[in-house]
């Protein structure tokens, strides 16, 4: 770690405290290094109470931060030596225009971090890809393949300043970066302040789709911010991007780093990268014309073809870092996903099969963040397959948000059993299931009873060896509804589902 402290005695304004960590961690980091910190936010102290309490409870900085809440005052910007910008603040803000120097929590991290850096951006899939990459790097260290530690931060709601003081030269840091964060880094780099540019050893860009067009006047402006992730790379670095869309192809053409493509379809012999083979494994060819090999298993713990593409992108980065294909394939195959989003959290081994039948394992998923019918339907498609032949138990339903449950009811027909949670949404689902001839159990107003029913039905399928070609019986909580009534929120619902399943499975 660098021992020079450039912030002692500086007047620094943190613009946007927020509740998700970036402003809080910036204030903590800078106040802890002797800066004279002012925190300003248009939200008042009641709305920001959790962040304020966290700062005031921090040993060594309590009482040392000045707050200007519910408004901004121009003097806090004109008199400051440095302003820390929140990504949500528009670059055109007059307060920023009046500032001498602008930084972000990410730029502060880049200026001081000694670790190797891997960065991920994109429109969809960036959180899953970054998390899978981090998972594999942690597993490599658990196996003793490399030294140091692996960290995950950025847009995934964990500011890297939170763990900066613990990082070392043998560590790996995975940063998920939004287009706004990348644009802010370019803004910081345009100043004559000795700014350290973003130069990741591996940069991954997932699928690009129309997004944030309320902030950008043109799609090209949005995509141009994404380009910042590889702008300062050289041939010692790697860029991984999709070959399935024109934006991804442009990234692969433009990056000054080495390039590997990933695709849902086989690549031409002269192309280096990875691709999916139908419902089989994800294959990789690291140089044009080289022999290909599987790097992502055919049946990873995280289901869905789109998820497998994310794992493929992570695999290309890991292989370029020097990890063996067998280790990469095993680590990514066991990646459980992000909490509450098709998160595989528990698996029971197969046993007690009927004579002549193959006993299946039972794999449990938490998809509590699926709060609309279409999201629950997507979970069914990912687990049961397009033909519905993979054995699935669906736990669904809850509180209505004045939505159309037709897509959920149609998808539910692919499940071997449907278990309903009580609620106004379930009251609308029941007649749709009945009309479609889809059998169901419940609704249950008690989660333990619903989970016990799901485990019983899954056990019956596993013992009978139904769908043995799939190798697994799947059980998923994917409500397609709000959580009000039975739970505090969808996260409480997901955590209680996991706890209940794990407890009942041990009986």
The tens digit of pLDDT for each residue in 15-63 reads 999 876 779 999 999 999 999 999 999 999 998 999 999 999 888 898 8
Final residue of a domain: which of 80, 103, 126? 103
Q: Is residue 354 part of a domain?
A: yes
CATH number at residue 408: 3.90.190.20
Average pLDDT, stretch 178-207? 89
Q: What is the pLDDT of residue 349?
A: 80
In a domain, 48, yes or no: yes
Please report whether residue 6 resides in a domain: no
When pLDDT is averaged across residues 363-374 and rounded to a whole number, the result is 92
In a domain, residue 438? The reply is yes
Q: Does 166 fall in a domain?
A: yes
In a domain, 287, yes or no: yes
Which residue reads 């949005």 in tokens?
Answer: 222
The region of weakest confidence among 160-164, 188-192, 492-496 is 188-192
Domain that residue 289 falls in: 107-333
Q: Which of 274, 299, 333 is the last residue of a domain?
A: 333
301-305, 481-485, 492-496 — which one is most confidently predicted on average?
492-496
Mean pLDDT check: name the lowest of 9-23, 413-427, 459-473, 478-492.
Answer: 459-473
Say if residue 464 is exposed, middle or buried (CB neighbours under 10 Å; 0-12, 13-18, 19+): middle
In this structure, the answer to whether residues 279 and 141 fall within a common structural domain is yes
Report residue 350's pLDDT band, with 50, 70 and 90 as the boundaries: low
Strand pairing report for 202-205 and 258-263: unpaired
User: Contact, 60 vs 81, CB < 8 A?
Assistant: no
- The pTM for the full model equals 0.82
pLDDT for position 21: 72
- 97 and 170 in a common domain: no
For residues 260 and 117, state if they share a domain: yes
Q: What is the domain-level CATH number for residue 295?
A: 3.40.1190.10
**What was the pLDDT predicted at 192?**
65
User: Are 157 and 305 part of one and the same domain?
Assistant: yes
pLDDT value, residue 14: 97
In a domain, residue 219? The reply is: yes
Alpha-carbon separation of residue 236 from 63, 121, 161, 182, 258 (angstroms) = 46, 20, 26, 21, 7
What pLDDT is recorded for position 468? 46
Shared domain check, 316 and 277:
yes
Question: Residues 353, 499: one domain?
Answer: yes
pLDDT in tens, 127-169: 899 999 999 999 999 999 999 999 999 988 799 999 999 999 9
Q: How many domains does the chain have?
A: 3
Q: Which of 59, 74, 103 is the last residue of a domain?
A: 103
pLDDT tops 90 at residue 279: no
- What is the arithmetic mean of pLDDT over 59-76? 93
Contact present, 392 and 411 (Cβ < 8 Å) = no
């Amino acid at each position: 770690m660098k021992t020079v402290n450039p912030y002692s005695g500086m007047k620094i304004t943190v613009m946007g405290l927020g509740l998700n960590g970036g402003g809080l961690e910036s204030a903590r980091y800078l106040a802890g290094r002797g800066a004279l910190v002012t925190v300003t936010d248009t939200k008042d102290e009641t709305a920001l109470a959790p962040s304020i309490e966290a700062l005031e409870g921090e040993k060594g900085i309590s009482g040392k931060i000045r707050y200007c809440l519910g408004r901004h005052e121009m003097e806090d910007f004109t008199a400051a030596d440095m302003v820390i910008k929140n990504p949500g603040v528009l670059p055109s803000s007059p307060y920023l225009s009046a500032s001498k120097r602008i930084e972000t929590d990410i730029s502060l991290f880049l200026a001081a971090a000694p670790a190797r850096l891997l960065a991920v951006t994109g429109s969809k899939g960036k959180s899953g890809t970054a998390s899978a990459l981090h998972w594999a790097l942690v597993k490599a260290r658990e196996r003793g393949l490399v030294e140091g530690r692996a960290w995950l931060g950025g847009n995934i709601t964990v500011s890297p300043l939170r763990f900066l003081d613990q990082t070392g030269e043998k560590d790996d840091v995975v940063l998920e970066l939004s287009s706004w964060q990348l644009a802010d880094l370019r803004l910081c780099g345009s100043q004559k302040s000795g700014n350290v540019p973003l130069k990741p050893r591996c940069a991954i860009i997932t699928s690009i789709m129309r997004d944030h067009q309320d902030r950008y006047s043109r799609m090209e402006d949005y995509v141009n911010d994404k380009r910042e992730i590889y702008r300062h790379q050289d041939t010692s670095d790697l860029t991984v991007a999709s070959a399935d869309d024109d934006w991804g192809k442009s990234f692969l053409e433009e990056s000054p780093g080495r390039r590997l493509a990933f695709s849902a379809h086989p690549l031409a012999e002269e192309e280096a990268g990875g691709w999916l083979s139908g419902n089989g494994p994800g294959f990789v060819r690291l140089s044009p014309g080289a022999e290909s090999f599987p790097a992502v298993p055919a049946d990873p713990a995280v289901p869905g073809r789109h998820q497998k593409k994310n794992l493929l992108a992570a695999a290309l980065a890991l292989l370029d870092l020097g990890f063996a294909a067998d280790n990469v394939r095993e680590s990514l195959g066991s990646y459980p996903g992000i909490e509450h989003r098709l998160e595989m959290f528990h698996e029971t081994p197969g046993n007690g099969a009927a004579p002549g039948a193959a006993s299946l394992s039972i794999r449990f998923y938490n998809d509590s963040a699926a709060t609309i019918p279409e999201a629950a339907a997507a979970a069914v498609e990912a687990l049961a397959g397009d033909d519905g032949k993979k054995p699935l138990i669906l736990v669904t339903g809850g509180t209505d948000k004045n939505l159309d449950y037709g897509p959920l009811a149609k998808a539910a027909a692919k499940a071997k059993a449907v278990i309903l949670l009580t609620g106004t949404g379930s009251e609308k689902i029941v007649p749709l299931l009945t009309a479609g001839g889809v059998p169901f159990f419940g609704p249950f107003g008690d989660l333990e009873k619903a989970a016990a029913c799901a485990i019983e039905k899954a056990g019956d399928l596993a013992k009978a060896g139904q769908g043995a070609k799939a190798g697994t019986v799947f059980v998923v909580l994917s409500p397609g509804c709000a959580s009000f009534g039975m739970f505090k929120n969808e996260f409480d619902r997901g955590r209680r589902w996991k706890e209940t399943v794990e407890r009942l499975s041990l009986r």
